[in-house]
Chain A
Amino acid sequence: MRNRIHSVTTEIVSIEDDVNNIKIFTLSDPDGWPLPSFMPGAHLDIYLPSGLIRQYSLCSDPNNKTQYMIAVQMETEGRGGSSEMHNLSEGMILPVSLPRNHFSLGDAKRHIFIAGGIGITPFLSMLPDLISKEIDWELHICAKFGEKISCQSLLKKYEKEPNIYKYISHGGNRLSIEKVISKIKSDEHLYCCGPSSMINDANINGKALGDRLHFEKFGIDEHLEDAAYQVVLKKSGSVVKVPKGQTMLGALRVAGFDVPASCEGGICLECKTRFLAGTPIHRDLVMQPSDRKEFITPCVSSCSSESIELDL
């Protein structure tokens, strides 16, 4: 059980229903004290009563110093976090982490955003910042066939903005990521948040953008089909076997090594560990290419060599 004083204590002040089985939570300090500030694109770790920890993007204005907002879509096939979130009630105390940011705005003249479904959320904290600074942006929002554009209540204030484009994946109204990328100039950045298929599409078409392509996707899309390997722990001098079907983190835990971890989905980087030898297969969703040369996330990543050496 997490010690309350080691997290930010918030109270759920409102829960509003949105389309697509989404609930929008507004959190504040129980006494209305200002909350720790955050930067556009940041997320929170939410410490659920069951002990689960889940990450949700902040979708409120960073200039609002007393409230955080997060939007949670119910995933019936998920790992249990969204279902537990949807069972919370107004007035409950909800411990959260300090805001963290792996999806920050780059230094660009113009920012182009592509959101898929609930992937609109991080952009909702970016827009107020860009509008107040009069920096150009463009937002493409996609919804699956049979769904509506997510977070409509939060998008309402932008309805007069001419640079928002909406796509529902049927009737020929499908976003061409390739087309969007082809128009990006050298001083512009592209941000993509949505399901794996969308991110993969952006990655394939946007290779030439290099560090000007930013993405954040949900969940783990790789199955643990890697062959068995072993982890050599340099500092402790131990060797831990990772059987097929188990994560590196799981194997380390079974062997009695307590590696701090939070999301266990390759997003939060809490378990980020330096590796010294071996060929890693990176499956985190957020590490910069330069960091991947030095670090690995044992929660989702593995290795293609017979062994990997960690600085543990």
Chain B
Amino acid sequence: MTKNLARWSGEIVGLHKTPRSFLPMKNFRCLSLIAGVGIDGDRHATGEAFHSDRPEEGRQITLFEEETIDALLRDHNIILRPEDHRRNVTTRDVPLNHLVGKKFKIGEAILEGTRLSTPCRHIEQITGLELFNQLLNRSGLNAKIIVSGKIFTGDEIRMV
């Protein structure tokens, strides 16, 4: 299983950040990742996130699978734009749910998965979409940044 898992290779299909809680996420072609801190200009790095009163080392960057966006549309007729899932990186072909405790390379940077993201009502409040149940078990991954670097859309994601 570990052997197979090591063989996958995916890519970044979207990059997103916002400076403060509740504000819409904007799409970017490039983000700068700072080891031990977060994404330059993102609310998790500046203590301006909704959960910043409960700081968590493992929430420096968050990732979300594009396959979930596809599934929401296919199975529930819910249109969720990549900038609406409130995570920083939209991935394709990356088994995020298997990366807790694992290190993986993303563009120039290296991340370590810390825990699975859990859906929260906060997303429903912001998007106005009823998403909570549909995102159970596929709400993305929280990670910490081990090695700083710039990441671009189209960059490869793979195991270290």
Do chains A and B stick together as partners? yes
Taking Cβ atoms with an 8 Å cutoff, the residues of A that contact B are 3, 5-9, 29, 31, 33-37, 65, 98
**Interface residue from A5, A7, A33 paired with B49 (Cβ < 8 Å):** A5
> When A98-B125, A98-B126 are in contact, do A5 and B21 touch as well, CB less than 8 Å?
yes
Q: Does the CB pair A7–B22 fall under 8 Å?
A: yes
- Could you tell me the dominant secondary structure of chain B's interface residues? loop
Q: Which residues of B contact A29 (CB under 8 A)?
A: 20, 23
Known: A3-B53, A5-B50, A98-B125. A33 touches B21 (CB 8 A): no
Please report the number of residue pairs spanning A and B whose Cβ atoms sit closer than 8 angstroms: 40
For B, the interface residue count at a CB cutoff of 8 angstroms equals 16
User: Are B22 and A36 in contact (CB-based, < 8 A)?
Assistant: yes
Determine the chain B residues whose CB is within 8 A of the CB of A35 once the complex forms: 23-24
Q: Who on chain A is nearest to B20 by CB?
A: A9
User: Does B117 count as interface, using CB distance less than 8 angstroms?
Assistant: no
Q: Given A33-B18, A98-B126, are A8 and B52 also a contact pair (CB < 8 Å)?
A: no
- Give the CA-CA distance A5 to B22 in the complex, in Å: 9
One of A3, A33, A37 near B20 (C-beta < 8 A): A33
Main secondary structure of the interface of A (DSSP, over half): loop
Residue B19 at the A interface, CB < 8 A? yes
Beyond A5-B20, A5-B21, A6-B50, 13 extra complex contacts between A and B, CB < 8 Å: A5-B48, A5-B50, A5-B53, A29-B23, A31-B19, A33-B26, A34-B23, A35-B23, A35-B24, A36-B22, A36-B23, A98-B22, A98-B125
Distance (Å) between the CB of A46 and the closest chain B CB? 15
Question: How distant is the Cα of A65 from the Cα of B22 in the complex, in angstroms?
Answer: 14
